[in-house]
Amino acid sequence: DVKVTQSSRYLVKRTGEKVFLECVQDMDHENMFWYRQDPGLGLRLIYFSYDVKMKEKGDIPEGYSVSREKKERFSLILESASTNQTSMYLCASSLAGGGTGELFFGEGSRLTVL
């Protein structure tokens, strides 16, 4: 069965800390995505990647970076966490590019920055 695994379901960090959110997929998908979800704002795309070592900015990349060293793993990095980055973070992967095929989502990582 298809699986996208996010390493932490809940995290609490302090302002200024460096935060790593890890996402692993076992479907050999080329494409991986990071979204954040906030009440009233829906899902917003942060970064995505179409291949190993490739990354593209989404709609809200400021304050974030990503790493894709292996095909199955896509990491989201908050270099210096701030309170406005408190949110639910969702990772997804897809076999086909763009929206040609379905996205498979992880269970989400709820990050609180104090």
Give SS3 for 84.
Answer: helix
E strand map for the chain: 4-6, 10-13, 19-25, 31-38, 42-49, 56-57, 65-70, 73-78, 87-94, 104-105, 109-113
CA distances from 91 to 5, 19, 33, 114 (A): 8, 15, 6, 23
Q: Does 64 bind other proteins (CB under 8 A)?
A: no
Under rule CB under 8 A, which residues in 6-45 are in contact with other proteins? 33, 35, 40-43, 45
Among 15, 102, 112, 114, which residue sits at the site for other proteins (rule: CB under 8 A)? 102
Residues 69-98 that bind other proteins (CB under 8 A): 88, 90, 92, 97-98
x/- binding map, residues 38-57, to other proteins, per CB under 8 A? Answer: --xxxx-x--x-x-----x-
Q: Which parts of this chain interact with other proteins (CB under 8 A)?
A: 4, 33, 35, 40-43, 45, 48, 50, 56, 58-59, 88, 90, 92, 97-108, 110
